[in-house]
Amino acid sequence: MNYDVIVIGGGPSGLMAAIAAGMNNKKVLLLEKGKKLGQKLAISGGGRCNVTNRLPVDEIVKHIPGNGRFLYSPFTVYNNEDIIAFFEGLGVGLKEEDHGRMFPVSNRAQDVVDALIHELERLGVDVRKETPVAKLLMTEEKIVGVRLQSGDEIQAKAVVVAVGGKAVPQTGSTGDGYPWAERAGHTVTDLYPTEVPLLSNETFIRSKELQGLALRDAEVSVLKKNGKAIITHKMDMLFTHFGLSGPAVLRCSQFVVKEMKKNDGKAVTMRINALPDYNAESAFQLLMKKAKDDPKKALKNAWKGIVPERWLLFLMQQATIDEASTGADLSNELARQLAKEITSFEMKVNGTQPLAKAFVTGGGVSVKEVEPKTMASKKKLGLYFCGEILDIHGYTGGYNITSALVTGHIAGDNAANFSGE
């Protein structure tokens, strides 16, 4: 059977591409290797699906450190506000939460997936699940179709590759598209985990004494060898049994990966300021004031609430301040030491969890070889890319799904136009 457009992959980018192509009244086939469509979408945002983000476009680009600037051009065609209007048109009301994050009012990711599936049905898109694609069929000049793993071949005038990256392969994203892209003449940049927890060999991590401790709105930095910060994020963070996690750490993770690569795999220093509105001097003043206000009180009680208790006790130990000592015992020197620990505690991290456990894949099909206004390959006629297979990666917070939906819409729309030429 012949199609105008084949879309490979039923994640957010592929679903959107198939819908956009279907809206052009084309004969469209969506091929998905899994039993279900939108498996990763259904678990995103903690199962609530962080569909998009309502921050202004400049801010969205800033939150996509992996080639976010490439999206300026696609955003002039289709952007986050279009996504919101699209879902509301499908009957999925969205609500805004902190940092511009948009979720379905129902808090159910499955509602988002179901709405996309109903729209595919309404538009008459053919959908085949449990149908893995083995390769793209192409001539020197253009795409002609796909070969399925079953050996069957299906012809099409245009093919949209929306098979995702390599993160969380249980959802179907197993990196199948990278060799296809290379065979079509594309460059695939190095792949690495992003938005991923960090590993540490520090004794206090190995002893698990801080496991489960969360620091709210801490300032977390990744340091260069010379001690200067490469990046700082002020968000929550978490100590785990293997290292560090939580939003601030996930955002820092790709910078750790890159710095380690630069330094031949050597461990990288992270800095934590649990009291970001203070520096070492103002924190010292605060500690002294609280200690001297009631010099008979045990210091750990006098300083209660400055930072979480487990963190305070740990840092007091680091600063060699006896837990039982009182304000009367406190020297300036020890108070200064503790102020330093609170505002710039340093620790080494020596890796990340693997790509399979990352939220997002770093690297992918080079954006230099894709037309930003159409998502068309610059190497092969009729070939389109969208979603996480591209070398685009954002922080969690709806930025990756936004990128997938926007590039998916544009790829599907342009593949449909191309197929009619």
Ligand X SMILES: Cc1cc2nc3c(=O)[nH]c(=O)nc-3n(C[C@H](O)[C@H](O)[C@H](O)COP(=O)(O)OP(=O)(O)OC[C@H]3O[C@@H](n4cnc5c(N)ncnc54)[C@H](O)[C@@H]3O)c2cc1C
Q: For the packed helices 109-122 and 12-23, what is the interaxial angle rounded to 10 degrees?
A: 30
**CB nearer to ligand X: pick between 56 and 265:** 56
154 lines the binding site for ligand X (CB under 6 A): no
Closest contact distance (angstroms) between CB of 341 and ligand X is 33
Closest contact distance (angstroms) between CB of 13 and ligand X is 3
Closest contact distance (angstroms) between CB of 331 and ligand X is 48
Q: Which residues contact 70 (CB under 8 A, 6 or more apart)?
A: 367, 372, 392
How many chain residues touch ligand X (CB under 6 A)? 41
Planar angle of CA 93, 95, 96, nearest 5 degrees: 155
194 lines the binding site for ligand X (CB under 6 A): no
Residue 345: strand pairing partners = 272
Closest contact distance (angstroms) between CB of 6 and ligand X is 10
**CB nearer to ligand X: pick between 102 and 306:** 102
What's the rounded Cα separation, in Å, for the pair 218 and 401? 26
- φ, ψ dihedrals at 118, nearest 5°: -60, -40
237 lines the binding site for ligand X (CB under 6 A): no
Maximum CA extent, the chain: 86
What's the rounded Cα separation, in Å, for the pair 243 and 239? 6
**CB nearer to ligand X: pick between 146 and 205:** 146
What's the rounded Cα separation, in Å, for the pair 192 and 69? 20
Tokens 């899994």 identify what position? 34
What's the rounded Cα separation, in Å, for the pair 412 and 20? 5
364 lines the binding site for ligand X (CB under 6 A): no
Residue 137: strand pairing partners = 145
Closest contact distance (angstroms) between CB of 226 and ligand X is 33
**CB nearer to ligand X: pick between 10 and 246:** 10
Figure out which of the listed residues 3, 4, 7, 11 binds ligand X, where binding follows CB under 6 A. 11
316 lines the binding site for ligand X (CB under 6 A): no
**CB nearer to ligand X: pick between 83 and 347:** 83
Helix-strand-coil percent breakdown of the chain, rounded to 5?
A: 40, 25, 35
87 lines the binding site for ligand X (CB under 6 A): no
Query: By CB under 6 A, what part of segment 17-46 binds ligand X?
Result: 31-34, 39-41, 43-45
Can you give the binding site for ligand X, defined by CB under 6 A?
8-14, 31-34, 39-41, 43-45, 50, 132-133, 162-164, 167-168, 171-174, 176, 359-360, 387-388, 396-401, 404
